[in-house]
Structure 1
Amino acid sequence: MARIEIYTTPFCGYCARAKGLLDSKGVAYEEMDVMMDDKKRTEMRERARRHTVPQIFINGEHVGGSDELAALEQAGKLDAMLAQPG
């Protein structure tokens, strides 16, 4: 299975939507809460070059946020990405 990392904050609707999609696929992911962790937030900004959450990485590749993850699903590309070994 792919290695999935998702930077989130609590009470974030977009984060919940992205995690819900990943949960529906039955895949495990590493969630990093950046709300109170400045080190993780800085890491997210450096990796993603964005400051909003969620930011999602699959096998180290930045795929974007919730909308981009949903677009991959609608385009039929997400399952193949999730099947690749991480």
Structure 2
Amino acid sequence: MNDDLQRQIRERLAGLEPARLEIIDESHLHAGHAGAQGGASHFRIVIASNQFKGLTPLARHRLVYDRMHDLIPHPIHALAIVASTT
């Protein structure tokens, strides 16, 4: 399931034209956590894009969340974001 989810994440973030994109599944670190019940996943996204230039960290995160909002809280329970410019 997480391979499909990672593919969806990659497709949704493609519009940001990332120069760097890492999608790290951290679900195994949260086994037993209430948010992991029902198969919800935890991901860390490391993304660098020219589209982040001039934006605050909060605005960068919003650009990412705007593309992911319907996947939260299920099938993604938690999303950690590291967003930088290129």
Instruction: Give the TM-score taking structure 2 as reference length.
Output: 0.33
Structure with higher helix content: 2
Q: Which has the higher strand share?
A: 2
Q: Which has the higher contact order (CA 8 A, sep 6+)?
A: 1
TM-score by length of structure 1 reads 0.33
